[in-house]
Copies of this chain bind each other. A is one copy, B any other.
Amino acid sequence: MNIAAAQSGGPTCAINASLVGLFGEALRTPQIDAVFGSINGIEGIINDDLVDLKRIIRTNEDMVLLKQTPSTVLGSCRYKLPDISQEGASELYDKIMACFERHRIEAFFYIGGNDSMDTVQKLSDYALSVGSDIKFVGIPKTIDNDLPVTDHTPGFGSAAKYVNATVQEIIRDSSVYSIDSVTIIEIMGRHAGWLAASTCLLRTNDEIAPHLIYLPESDFSAERFLEDVRAERAKHKAVIAVVSEGIKLEAGGMRSGMIDNFGHEYLSGVGKVLENLVRNEVGCKVRSIELNVMQRCSSHICSATDINEAEQIGAAAVRTALEGKSGVTMVFKRLSDRPYVITIEAADTSLLANKEKLFPKEWITAAKNNVSDEAVKYFQPLIMGEVDIAMKNGIPLHFKMH
């Protein structure tokens, strides 16, 4: 039998590790012949744009390098399959199934977030409806950590490790001058604030900062924010506020639009808006820093726990398909925080597809400007361990498809 894998959604540091885990397990499984990679997610299946992974990942060194390479080696997509009931949809589904049949692909693995799980769900439903025996298995990944059922998602731990290391360095940077200042750090997370919340881990390293943490899960109020900043300024010379990009400024009576020098309005990040708010209303030295895409691709400081788990969940997906399961997504179950023990299971994909898991409201402090120590216990194991990154000429080596 042949199998195929694809990667979808936004990049992370762990998505290639899951591909390596899947590929390695396929090599160890005698009944699997070819392992195809679909270029740009499901688009590669639709357009019959496949590569033979055995020709691409050729040595153990290739596997090691691919594990430390961020983003998606097979490319990605933001493609949402239409409902089968939509006009023209059945032709598209037939095209997909024809590609699988042409290449004798008996199992398809989709590494992605909740949108990608929607694709897994639709394809497994369709396969069932037409009597096909092809197995569809989802492998989660997202730095947002917003998938239900699973304890956490591959990719999140590395993003959290980068964010914590970087926020700590910014704390050092902000404390050098004798003048008082406010630093606002904008962290990814449009709906779920897990990544911003994870900066509570700096407490375990004896940091008092970040003094303030704002998540999309709480109502945001510009007035309360200014009160918080003023209160922290009375206590600390250099105030550090971490904000999720998804906090709702509009609900707080603010617009995030700016007019550029072409006269066009453009949306700036919340960090820049809050920076201007503090400058105008508090009048102190203030700066905002956006950690931007570095949060999802800084594999040079990835979490060994995350990368190893990502590899293991990729391998587990192959075994699950061989057990005959389809329409399932691999998930982590946590058995214990200390020692940290997890198992990998297969959950019904319908429980995850198009669904979000938000940061628990009970872990947000009453003042809505920080998170509780319960969150520290949850986050701690996910960022543990460092990967010994292979370097060339002083720069991390990346795997490249030629």
**Copy number in this complex?**
2
- A177 and B276 in contact, given A161-B394, A297-B170 (Cβ under 8 angstroms): no
Asked whether A168 is an interface residue with its Cβ less than 8 Å from the other chain, the reply is yes
For residue A198, give the distance in angstroms from its CB to the closest CB of chain B. 11
Between A75, A206, A261, A398, the greatest number of chain B beta carbons within 10 A of the residue's beta carbon is seen for: A261
Asked whether A169 is an interface residue with its Cβ less than 8 Å from the other chain, the reply is yes
CB contacts (< 8 Å) of A361 on chain B: these are none
Closest to A382 in B: B394
Closest to A304 in B: B394
- A393 and B176 in contact, given A280-B264, A289-B293 (Cβ under 8 angstroms): no
Q: Tell which of A66-74, A94-102, A116-124 binds the partner.
A: A66-74
C-beta contact mask, A178-197 vs B, less than 8 Å → 1, else 0? 10000000000000000000
Tell which of B276, B280, B301 touches A300, judged by Cβ atoms closer than 8 Å: B301
- A40 and B257 in contact, given A386-B391, A394-B201, A397-B205 (Cβ under 8 angstroms): no
Between A77, A280, A292, A392, the greatest number of chain B beta carbons within 10 A of the residue's beta carbon is seen for: A292
- A396 and B258 in contact, given A71-B173, A76-B177, A290-B292 (Cβ under 8 angstroms): no
- A205 and B392 in contact, given A40-B178, A280-B262, A292-B290 (Cβ under 8 angstroms): yes
Q: Count residues of chain A with CB under 8 A from any CB of chain B.
A: 71
For residue A17, give the distance in angstroms from its CB to the closest CB of chain B. 14
Closest to A396 in B: B165
CB contacts (< 8 Å) of A75 on chain B: these are 175-178
Please determine whether B175 and A299 come into contact, CB atoms closer than 8 angstroms: no
Please determine whether B254 and A276 come into contact, CB atoms closer than 8 angstroms: no
Q: Which of A293-326 contact B (CB under 8 A)?
A: 293-294, 296-301, 303
Question: In the complex, A396→B167 CA distance in Å?
Answer: 11
Please determine whether A172 and B297 come into contact, CB atoms closer than 8 angstroms: yes
Closest to A255 in B: B261
Question: In the complex, A258→B260 CA distance in Å?
Answer: 5
Tell which of B76, B259, B261, B385 touches A176, judged by Cβ atoms closer than 8 Å: B76
Question: In the complex, A296→B177 CA distance in Å?
Answer: 15
CB contacts (< 8 Å) of A384 on chain B: these are 393-394
Please determine whether A301 and B299 come into contact, CB atoms closer than 8 angstroms: no
Please determine whether B257 and A261 come into contact, CB atoms closer than 8 angstroms: yes
Question: In the complex, A276→B266 CA distance in Å?
Answer: 9
Asked whether A138 is an interface residue with its Cβ less than 8 Å from the other chain, the reply is no
7 more contacts with CB within 8 A, not counting A70-B169, A201-B395, A261-B276, are: A77-B177, A169-B298, A169-B299, A170-B293, A204-B395, A383-B393, A386-B391
A-B contact pairs, 18 of them (CB 8 A): A11-B173, A40-B178, A71-B169, A71-B172, A71-B176, A164-B395, A168-B396, A169-B297, A169-B298, A169-B299, A170-B297, A201-B395, A260-B276, A264-B276, A300-B301, A301-B301, A303-B394, A384-B393
Which residue numbers of A lie inside 8 Å of B, CB to CB? 11, 40, 43, 69-72, 75-78, 161, 164-166, 168-170, 172-173, 175-178, 201-202, 204-206, 254-262, 264, 266, 273, 276, 280, 287, 289-294, 296-301, 303, 380, 383-386, 391-398, 400
